[in-house]
Structure 1
Amino acid sequence: MTVQTGRIARAVSLAAGLIAAAQIASAEPQHGIAMYGDPALPPDFVSLPYANPDAPTGGQIVTAEVGSFDSLNPFILKGSVPWQLRFFLGESFMGRSIDEPFSLYGVLAESIETGPNREWVEFTLREGAAFSDGSPVTIEDVMWSYETLGTEGHGRYRGFWEKVESMEQTGERSVRINFNVEDQELALIAGLRPILKKAQWDGLDFAESTTDVIPITSAPYVIDDFEPGRYVSLRRNPDYWGKDVPFRRGTNNLDEIRLEFFGDETAAFEAFKVGEVNATREFNVVRWDTRYDFPAVQSGDVVKEVLPHGRPSGMTGFAMNTRRPHLADWRVRDALIHVFNFEFINETMTGGAQPRITSFWSNSPLGMSDEAASGRVAEFLAPFADDLLPGTLDAYSLPVSDGTERNRAGIRAALSQLEAAGWTVQDGTLKNAEGEPFQLEILLDQGGLEFQSIIDLYRESLQRIGITPTITVADSAQFKERTDAYDYDMVYYRRGVSLSPGNEQYVYFGSENADTPGGRNLMGVKSPAVDAMIGRLLTSATQDDFVSAVQALDRLLTTGRYVIPIYQWNVSRIAQVKELKHPDYIPVWGDWPGWQPDVWWYEED
């Protein structure tokens, strides 16, 4: 079944405009907050527009996850944690609507209030908010959580804490956070910090916990069973305190969310075919068209859906580690991009059906143009002109091959760039002036069979220019350990981006934390221009300046030749048993955290 509605087109159009910039309101408690202007839903909204407040409760969703895990604490750096847990276990003052570019509505918070320039934010805790063990959530828990996450938690929480000047309790159920920098997004980020129970961690080392301690939170689900590396079962808390909060109505309808772990994609798909798993996502159009014809699909017991969305493409591909001396040269990275024969690979893998990612924000109005920079984009980049790479101010697009396996033009361009960088083919091997061969280790996660197949094709192309790469396929724990230590030349890379990029861009691409272990800047980007564009988008007073700042950032990242992009997914392909249902209304973000399993329900015909 393919869902196509006028509603989606209108939502995408709204996202394309972002939201008309407006003077930021202040000094009055509100039910929600938006990055610009006002949130779309009124104070008396009944439920999120993509949730069904009358949905029945019960049943389960079982998904197949490729890989393993050795920790159940998603709020710290240590260990390999199922990525979903920070969404299932984390509950915060505010919740994000995935039907708007960046709007938040109260969950733990009864209200939110900001200063005239968002130099502070104050939250009032809802009366009756409680942890899953029945104990009340207090402002003491809140303040402990902010400080602990900011000093001992995962890196995603630390950047925010560094921008906090002070924090004070202002009432029995209220707390105010004062900021030390001008940054209009901080008030929103503050609303998304998970709140943990302080008393649980008395005498325990928060940063070192793995599966020995499961964090107690106030969220709708609790972990009630697990086996390390095999499965995690989350059960809906029947006594959940917030079931009547408008943001929560029609959500968290399933009694169980179960994550089953498999060694590779083939085993995961077979589990879906035989009914051990009842919902799956497919990212390859050829497999979607050819493998989903098993008896349960033919009988209608399994339903296939193609769902639209209005998200930017983000970046999926293979990141090059600029911390390595030979990959610090942009000409070498440019050569490796030319060698990657996308058109041939795409035809082999998908029948040519999936378009290529062209930049980090492609498929959205925030994406860079392939023409020369102009207007405010050019103006923002001008102070850095002497240090910008070719294509940043001029026209730039990824190389396009003739589709044949040999890719002669791409190989010639690559060899030319490599020679300029001091590398030539000597006796069939690419070497530098000292006669040292070019080393290239490509690190992959063992669960990604499709990406291993892509790299196998890429290896054949690399051998044409005298490079014999080492391809290392690591299990989940080893992959995380090595990526945390930036121990690779090239690595599989996936970075989702939003229609409202903000402080997280420093985490993804900022210089300051580029060498911090466990960071998310896998390429090692250290660029004053990139840092400046992130700062500019955070302080833009108008929509036009914000869009231009993101487009300028997109140009810097794309022309930096940090990643070899592969194909994008402009629709989502999902399949599930017929008893799993969701509202017809599809949010702007489509199939994204906050939609499945959040607003789904189980109902037998």
Structure 2
Amino acid sequence: MTKTRKAPHLTLPGLITSLALMATPFFSFADDHHENGPAPVHGIAMHGELKYPEGFSHFDYVNPEAPKGGTLKLSVVSNGFDSFNPFVIRGVAAAGVSTYVYDTLMESSSDEPFSEYGLIAESVEFPEDRRYVIFNLREEARFQDGTPITAKDVEFSHRILTTEGHPFYRNYYADVSKVTVEDSHRIRFDFGDTENRELPLILGQMPILPAHYWEEREFARNGLDIPVGSGPYRIGSFDAGRSVTYELVEDYWAKDLPVRVGRFNFQRIQYEYYNDDTVALEAFKAGNFDFRQETSAKNWATAYTGRRFEDGRIVREAIPHQRPSGMQGFIFNTRKPVFSDPKVRQALAYGFDFQWANRNLFFDQYTRTNSYFENSELASSGLPQGPELDILERFRDQLNPEVFTREYTPPDTSDSRSMRDNLRAAMELLNEAGYSILGGKMVHEESGKQLSFEVLLFQKSFERVVLPFTRNLERLGIDVTVRLVDSNQYIQRVRSFDFDMITQVLPQSDSPGNEQREYWHSSTADVSGSRNFMGVNDPVVDQLVDMVIQAPDREQLVHRVRALDRVLLHSHYVIPHWHLTKDRVAYWNHLQRPEVTPKNGIDLNNWWINR
């Protein structure tokens, strides 16, 4: 889920806060507007100035003349869906529903670190210290059934999301202390004792739900009832668990706004579900759907061939992007006793041979990941110095000494170092952690238990990456099993932290903020649905996360994020994988895209069909 949409859009969303932060904010109503307050403005930037001035006509990365019409056919590799409510933890929501059916108060641009411009909200007001924000709603804003969108709908949306919605929302909006409906189209959010400059922007990302629709419905059990939204598309038809089609709202109220011009150009968007990615790829080449983003290096190197590619009917492109790559890796569940010792986690990293995998499996397409904020200025490197060192010095007595003395780099087999050397280093660390070889097995000297764990997967294609890793560890007497489950079971097990190790992507934006609690804060460690997959529960990390959220400017944000990155890396919560600074895409040539690609990469919602 880039900063263009910080709310959850991943397979496994979830951000949990502690019970102390889950209290429902106080709601009140006022009759009069505040006078002599800040002037209303058309947008808001996290730090610095807005790129687009008041009265701008469209974003630079769209084609304002793009024709409307046609059907965009897409695929989803999954075991299906059972809900049209993406805002609750129950069930698996249909692909696209949160993107296409619901509008937000503001819209992010894709060519700035983090800036938003008015969508449902025509303007926004906030003081210099951002201790509150006021949204002035557009009079013309409508739900898809023609009902006006009012401040009461905004208040309702905030209340229902933070009390009955996915736990993510309770934490994301936890610092809201008071909500005041000032009139039918004006609403104010006051914040508690916080220096969080991001709060007005993350409230701008809030999806607005119709209070009248939910009056007689149970929010957490929406199932496959077709909802009333406010966005550019409505659900037109579906085959439960197998396909869903969205239809363009012909009288969509926002279609001529600057943040919508040149976007959402397809008359229909259709998702078809496939159980197997190989089948999906062949279906794409046969013309059953229009666009595919390839995540397999092997497929990219070997499968995109044939007459349709040669004659140009299917276009194959690797389009550069400048967004942070985040972290993909083997993730340890530190709630499990087997992974509670950082030395054990550090030792197991020596069993993954990235150089071998890149050469033999990935056709040398990837670069090793060394940071949770890879491919950005936010990534730590070298040894800490300057303001970053000053931050870390506050916690020196609580940190791994290597944070200050050793640049983090994951183990590799480059240069003259071999896997034998790496396994020898792993053995030394395991000995320090109390393990030794007994009868060919790696056994803990006190408990007598063999070091063993399970890797949970839902993508069969990833077995070719995992199995060489497990074989290397078996040479140390470690018992590793690989369990392949379907995607729905995988989601449920990960939500309940019922795993030892998983492979997962932890995406990041160019402007980290509140969502960092989702990954690392102790308040999210033991609540079902959190994206704190590792079970991070560290008071130093908690403080660094708070510092990131409260960063007063871009310069301080960079230093604080680098400090957080460095502490996480030296805690060995993951075995880093790899990253790519290009989007590998293939599409049938009736699809057209804008000449300008924003820094965050491709966005199909800016494409169109060439008739």
TM-score normalised by length of structure 2: 0.91
Instruction: Name the CA distance, whole Å, in 2 between partners of 1:87 and 1:381.
Output: 39
Structure 2 Cα separation of the partners of residues 403 and 155 of structure 1: 47
Match for residue 469 of structure 1 among 480, 493, 504: 480
**Contact 2:284 2:291 (C-alpha < 8 Å) held by counterparts:** yes
Match of 1:150, SS?
helix
Partner of 2:302: 290
CA shift, 1:195, in A, is 0.4
- Can you list the C-alpha shifts for 1:63-95, whole angstroms capped at 9, x where unaligned? 221112222211111112245432222311101
Q: Which stretch of the first structure deviates more once superposed, 527-536 or 499-508?
A: 527-536
Q: Runs of 5+ in structure 2 lacking a partner?
A: 1-36
Q: 1:233 aligns with which of 240, 245, 254?
A: 245
Paired residues for 1:48-197 under 5 Å: 48-68=59-79, 69-82=81-94, 84-180=96-192, 181-197=194-210
Secondary structure at the aligned position of 1:116 is classed as coil
**Runs of 4+ in structure 1 over 6 Å off:** 403-406
Contact 1:80/1:476 (CA < 8 Å) preserved in 2? no
Residues 315-372 of structure 1 show CA distances to partners (whole Å, capped at 9, x for unaligned) of 1111100101120110010011111111111212112221111111121111000x22
Which residue matches 1:600? 607
SS at match of 1:277: coil
Specify the alignment match of 1:4 in structure 2: none
Counterpart code for 2:221? E
Correspondence 1:543 to 2:593: no
Match of 2:396 among 365, 385, 389: 385
Task: Supply the distance in 1 between the matched residues of 2:343 and 2:85 (Cα, whole angstroms).
Answer: 41
Judge conservation of contact 2:196–2:551 (CA < 8 Å) in 1: no
Unaligned runs of 5+ in 1: 1-25
SS at match of 2:452: coil
Residue in structure 1 matched with residue 215 of structure 2 by the alignment:
202
User: Structure 2 matches for 1:348-359, cutoff 5 A?
Assistant: 348-359=360-371
User: For 1:265-304, what aligned pairs fall within 5 Å after superposition?
Assistant: 265-304=277-316
Task: Tell me the equivalent position of 1:7.
Answer: none
Q: 2:535 aligns with which of 511, 524, 532?
A: 524
Residue pairs, 1:549-564, within 5 angstroms: 549-564=560-575
Aligned residues: 571
Q: Distance in 2 between matches of 1:405 and 1:260?
A: 47
Task: Compute the displacement of 1:405 (Å).
Answer: 12
Distance in 1 between the 2:82 and 2:405 partners? 47
> What amino acid is aligned across from residue 588 of structure 1 in structure 2?
K
Q: Report deviation, 1:286.
A: 3.7
1:361-402 deviation digits (Å, cap 9, x = unpaired): 121111000x22111111111121122124322222111214
Q: Which residue of 2 aligns with 1:416?
A: 428
Correspondences of 1:301-340 after superposition (within 5 Å): 301-340=313-352
CA offsets 1:80-125 (integer angstroms, 9 cap, x no match):
2245432222311101111110000011011011023100000011
- Kindly provide the amino acid, as one letter, of the partner of residue 304 in structure 1: R
Distance 1:193 1:175, change over 3 A: same
Distance 1:390 1:237 in 2: 58
Q: Is the 8 A contact 1:196 1:215 kept in 2?
A: no
What is the match of residue 11 of structure 1? none
- Tell me, in whole angstroms, the C-alpha distance in 2 between the residues paired with 1:216 and 1:530: 41
1:469 is paired with a residue whose SS is strand
Distance 2:442 2:218 in 1: 50
| Shift, 1:311, TM fit | 1.0
The alpha carbon displacement at 1:283 in A equals: 2.2
CA contact (8 A) 1:141 1:198 kept: yes
Could you tell me whether the CA contact under 8 Å between 2:95 and 2:271 is conserved in 1? no
Please tell me the residue identity of whatever aligns with 1:550: V
Q: Which amino acid aligns with 2:457?
A: L
Q: Which amino acid aligns with 1:322?
A: T
**Once structures 1 and 2 are overlaid, which stretch shifts more, 132-141 or 318-327?**
132-141
Match of 2:522 in 1: 511
How much does 1:541 deviate? 2.2
Instruction: Provide the secondary structure at the position in 2 that maps to 1:223.
Output: strand
- 8 A contact 2:301–2:363 mirrored in 1: no
Q: Secondary structure at the match of 1:248?
A: coil
8 Å contact from structure 1 (residues 344, 405) kept in 2: no
- Asked whether the equivalents of residues 450 and 479 of structure 2 are also in contact (C-alpha less than 8 Å), the reply is no
Give the CA deviation at 1:437.
1.5
CA distance in 2, matches of 1:248, 1:517: 36
Q: CA RMSD in A?
A: 1.6
Q: Distance in 1 between matches of 2:410 and 2:154?
A: 47
User: Residue 453 of structure 2 corresponds to which residue in structure 1?
Assistant: 440
Alpha-carbon distance in structure 2 between the residues aligned to 1:385 and 1:405: 32
Residue 412 of structure 1: how far off its partner (Å): 0.6
Letter in 1 for 2:159: E
The aligned amino acid for 2:66 is A
CA–CA distance in 1 between the matches of 2:553 and 2:173? 26
Percent sequence identity is 37
Equivalent position of 1:20 in the other structure: none
Moved more, 65-74 or 360-369: 65-74
**Structure 2 partner of 1:345:** 357
Given candidates 569, 583, 604, the residue that maps to 2:594 is 583
Contact 2:544–2:563 (Cα < 8 Å) also in 1: yes
- SS of structure 1 residue aligned to 2:579: coil
* Mapped contact 1:147–1:161 kept (Cα < 8 A): no
After superposition, what is the alpha-carbon deviation per residue over 1:525-582, rounded to whole angstroms, capped at 9, x for unaligned?
1122222122112222232211100111111122211111111011111110101111
Q: CA deviation at 1:208?
A: 2.5
The secondary structure found in structure 2 opposite 1:416 is: helix
User: SS at the partner of 1:350?
Assistant: coil
Relative to structure 1, the CA distance from residue 403 to residue 475 in structure 2 (aligned partners, 3 Å threshold; closer, same or farther) is farther
Q: 1: distance between equivalents of 2:329 and 2:226?
A: 34
For 1:234, give the aligned amino acid.
Y
Give the AA of the match of 2:229. Answer: T
Question: SS at 1:540's partner residue?
Answer: coil
